[in-house]
Amino acid sequence: MVIKKSDRANILLVALIALLAYLSFQIVRPFINTILGAFIIAFLFYPLYSRIAKRTSPSASAFIVSAILLLLIITPTYFAVNAISSEASYLYLRTKQISATGSFFTVQCTSNDFFCLASRGIDKIVEDPQLNLYFRSVIGKITDYIINSATDFVLLLPNFLMHMFIIFFILYYAFKESDNFIGSFKNLFPGSSSVSEVVITQLRNVVNAVILGSLIIAFLQGVAAAIGFLLFGIASPFLWAVLIACIALIPMIGATVIWAPLGTFYLLSGIVSNSNWGVIQGVFVLTYGFFVISGIENVLKPKIISKWGNVHPVIVILGAIGGVTIFGITGFIIGPLVLATVKTLLEEPKVRVIFGV
């Protein structure tokens, strides 16, 4: 079979396009999550940009909104990193103290009540030579981890700043050229503007539901933490509440990383000091954190997102878990967004005709 010259040219052109597409994907691959996240943020805050653009030029409006959003991204990230670093440092110092003193507790009990007997029993376990050797091994690993983490943080700081620059860059042009983006999206559905409008509406509903729902849930968790901690005399209740609200915004981590160590600390401190009130505080923080603080997220978040986004709770949960598995943190939004969009398209009569369903 002889291939015509024109066919060879077409084949070469297709091969060249495929090669360039592959190379282009490899170039942007490290920044896929950042790019998708930036477009989602731009889509969410487009109404804010539209309002500001009515009073100033598109360029100025895009710059103002992008700068504000960048600050809103960096601030919670700073609090989260600071909180995790503080807890890691405390864990390292406390573990080192346990190994050096052979005692799990900083204050020794002399009475024979249940709490003191329990603390002395734990100390005997810690004094075991093999366990002490294990503690020393753990300390070495923790030390290496902290040193490596500090080194990685210094090395990754330019990378973080680069991603922030990419977010700002994409936000700026996504806002400034929003009309072109919307027009290009509508062109994906030639002759069927109704389908594109339905899809855009569904996208907006899901993004608004996931983002605003997460913000509201985090705020409610912070308020609940502040009220509960204040009533039971937990030190710095508002600081802990702010930390819980910030950490709650991180998908698949949640407020548990704050209230669980805090409750354990108060519980152990109460046992050591033979303080019934300290034990009560610890039990309260653990119980209140599990049923109220985390309960707000586990119960209310799926309901709010499914109601506001007009999607089934199963789609929200499966989309969030699967999205985080594939895309990382941004998958918490991308997952439900993809599943909801597919559901919307399959429900459209014109799309169903195309697929013969």
What are the pLDDT digits (tens) for 43-57?
888 888 999 988 888
Are residues 267 and 308 located together in one domain of the fold? yes
User: Predicted confidence band at 95 (pLDDT cuts at 50, 70, 90)?
Assistant: low
Q: Which domain holds residue 208?
A: 192-351
On whether residue 41 sits in a domain, the answer given is: yes
On whether residue 43 sits in a domain, the answer given is: yes
- pLDDT at site 250: 77
Confidence check: pLDDT of 123 > 60: no
- pLDDT at site 284: 93
- pLDDT at site 341: 82
Are residues 134 and 247 located together in one domain of the fold? no
- pLDDT at site 133: 64
Residue at which a domain ends, from 148, 179, 210: 179
The average pLDDT across 103-111 equals 52
On whether residue 20 sits in a domain, the answer given is: no
Are residues 175 and 197 located together in one domain of the fold? no
List phi, psi (to 5°) of 28. Answer: -90, -5
Q: What tens digit of pLDDT does each residue of 252-279 get?
A: 778 888 898 888 888 877 776 666 787 8
Better-scored residue on pLDDT, 32 or 109? 32
- pLDDT at site 80: 61
On whether residue 253 sits in a domain, the answer given is: yes
Are residues 200 and 175 located together in one domain of the fold? no
User: Predicted confidence band at 217 (pLDDT cuts at 50, 70, 90)?
Assistant: very high
Q: What tens digit of pLDDT does each residue of 10-30 get?
A: 788 889 999 999 999 899 888
Are residues 124 and 146 located together in one domain of the fold? yes
Tokens of 50: 């539209």
Confidence check: pLDDT of 132 > 80: no
On whether residue 119 sits in a domain, the answer given is: yes
Confidence check: pLDDT of 307 > 90: no
Q: Residue 204: is it exposed, middle or buried by C-beta count within 10 angstroms (0-12/13-18/19+)?
A: middle
Tokens of 176: 């400034």
Better-scored residue on pLDDT, 147 or 186? 186
Q: What total number of domains does the chain contain?
A: 2
Q: What is the 3-state secondary structure (H, E, C) of 210-266?
A: HHHHHHHHHHHHHHHHHHHHHHCCCCCHHHHHHHHHHHCCCCCCCCHHHHHHHHHHH
The average pLDDT across 328-343 equals 83
Residue at which a domain ends, from 122, 147, 179: 179
Are residues 146 and 234 located together in one domain of the fold? no
- What integer best gives the mean pLDDT of the chain? 78
pTM exceeding the 0.85 threshold for the entire prediction: no
- pLDDT at site 207: 82
